[in-house]
Amino acid sequence: MVGRQELTLENHLGIKQYSPRMVKVRVKGGFLEIRGEDLMLKNLTRESLTLAGRIDCLGFETE
């Protein structure tokens, strides 16, 4: 994570939900939820994803 402006996540299992205010990503054991403003995918590969925007909150939800 670079400040509150950028987040890189490796070994994700796919994006479940995406909007400019919330991104929910499947990870081992559950989901990582990123909340903020003007969120956008800067980079997406099978191995990693990078989000840019104003990141306000990270949360984890178990399966």
Render pLDDT for 11-46 as a digit per residue (tens, 0 to 9).
999 999 999 999 999 999 999 999 999 999 999 999
Residue 17 pairs with which residues in a beta bridge? 24
The predicted model scores a pTM of: 0.92
- pLDDT of 16: 97
What single letter denotes the amino acid at residue 19? Answer: S
- Nearest-angstrom CA–CA distance, 13 and 16: 9
What gap in Å lies between CA 54 and CA 38, rounded to an integer? 6
* CATH code linked to domain 6-62: 2.60.40.2000
And the tokens for 58? 């990270």
Model confidence band, residue 63 (pLDDT cutoffs 50, 70, 90): confident
